[in-house]
Amino acid sequence: MKDMGGFDFDLQGARLTALPSGALYWAAEAIVTVSDLHLGRSERYARRGGALIPPYETSDTLSRLDADLDRTGARTVICLGDSFDDLAASALPEADALWLARMQAGRRWVWIEGNHDPGPVDLGGAHLAAVTIGPLTFRHIALDGAAGEISGHYHPKVRLAGQARPAFLTDGNRAILPAYGTYTGGMEATHPDLRGLFEAGALAILTGSRCVPCPLSR
């Protein structure tokens, strides 16, 4: 397979690849995992009488996801929750809904529920609170003491050499994914809520044009 600029790491015996886009690829199972897409954020703001921000984030996020699925040839897609900015936002515009359906065709698709989208959505795919595949469990928010856990929620970002980038965090027990959605912010990985979830020696993997690993604690 051609170089995707990713970075390999092991979690409970599973070899995973962090991709520069913020997606996680499990080659052995052909699974692509993405977290915190926040689709429909602009629509939600507008619906609530707030600002009318540019309504392009859903198609931008989907086009990046499409490219990752294409590159990896994934057979399963797991969206780790907060896929939609709220449940009403899951009523996507027709063009985006069709695009999503095209991506879902011929693939297993799992929507993990998140705090923004805590219920089933009227789109194809399975809707679950969590899913376990082999040694790994996929859920939205990390649980204390979990092993082999893949989660999202926190939108971690890391500062290095004067730049802040969304990052994967992992310590061999668990991995937390960066937010994949276009309209998302981030939380410093040094924040105690995040830092406290990891053992000493944990790794941050910065996204960008290539994945760049660095120690979480410096």
Partner 1 sequence: MSALPPPFSDWFAARGWQVHPHQRALLARAGEPALLLLAPTGGGKTLAGFLPTLVELADGRHQGLHTLYISPLKALAADIRRNLSRPVEEMGLPVRIEDRTGDTSYQRRLRQRADPPHILLTTPESLALMLSYPDAARTFAGLSRVIVDEIHALAESKRGDQLMLCLARLQSLCPGLRRVGLSATVEDPEAIASFLAPHPAPCPIVAADPGPDPEISMLVTDEPPPWSGGGGRYAIPAILNEVRGHRTTLIFHNTRAQAEIFFHDLWLQNEDALPIAIHHGSLAREARLKVEAAMVAGSLRAIVCTGSLDLGIDWGDVDLVIQVGAPKNVKRLVQRIGRANHRYNAPSKALLVPANRWEVVECAAALAAVRARDLDGEPRGPGPKDVLCQHILIAACAAPFEADALFAEVTAAGPYATLTRAEFDACLDFCATGGYALKAYDKWQRLVLKGGHWQLRDPRAAQMIRMNVGTITSSELLTVALKARFGAKPLGEVEEAFAASLTPGDTFLIGGEVVRYEGLRELTVEVSRERGREPKVAVFSGTKFSTSTELCARMLAIMAEPDWPDLPAHTADWLRLQRERSDLPRDGELLIESFPAEGREYVCIYGFAGRNAQQTLGLLMTKRMEEEGLHPLGFVATDYATLIWGLDPVTDPAPLFDLARLRAGLEDWLAGNAVMKRTFRNVAIVAGLTPRNHPGQRKSGRQATFSTDILYDTLRKYDPDHLMLKVTREEAMRGMVDFARIEALINRTGARIRTRRLDHATPFAAPLFFEVGKVPVFGAARERLLEEAAERLMAEAGLSGPKAGG
Residues that bind partner 1 (CB under 8 A): 1, 3-10, 17, 19, 25, 36, 42-43, 46-57, 59-60, 93, 153-155, 160-163, 179, 182-188, 191, 201, 203, 206, 209-215, 218
Q: Where are the beta strands (DSSP E) in 40-162?
A: 76-79, 108-112, 126-128, 130-133, 136-139, 149-151, 156-160
Structure tokens at 68: 């990752």
Quick one: 42 or 90, whose CB is closer to partner 1? Answer: 42
Q: Shortest gap between Cβ of 56 and partner 1 (angstroms)? A: 4
| Residue 210 φ then ψ, to 5° | -135, 160
Quick one: 132 or 163, whose CB is closer to partner 1? Answer: 163
Quick one: 121 or 212, whose CB is closer to partner 1? Answer: 212
d(CA 214, CA 52): 38
Q: Shortest gap between Cβ of 126 and partner 1 (angstroms)? A: 25
The number of beta carbons lying within 10 Å of the beta carbon of residue 141 is 15
Q: Shortest gap between Cβ of 173 and partner 1 (angstroms)? A: 16
CB 159 within 8 A of CB 188: yes
- What phi-psi label fits residue 103: left (phi over 0), alpha (psi between -120 and 50 degrees) or beta? alpha
Q: Shortest gap between Cβ of 18 and partner 1 (angstroms)? A: 8
Quick one: 17 or 151, whose CB is closer to partner 1? Answer: 17
Q: Shortest gap between Cβ of 1 and partner 1 (angstroms)? A: 7
Q: Shortest gap between Cβ of 164 and partner 1 (angstroms)? A: 10
DSSP 84: B
Residues near 186 by Cβ (< 8 Å), separated by ≥ 6?
155, 156, 157, 164, 166, 178, 179
Quick one: 120 or 213, whose CB is closer to partner 1? Answer: 213
CB 24 within 8 A of CB 32: yes
CA 156 to chain centroid: 11
Quick one: 125 or 207, whose CB is closer to partner 1? Answer: 207
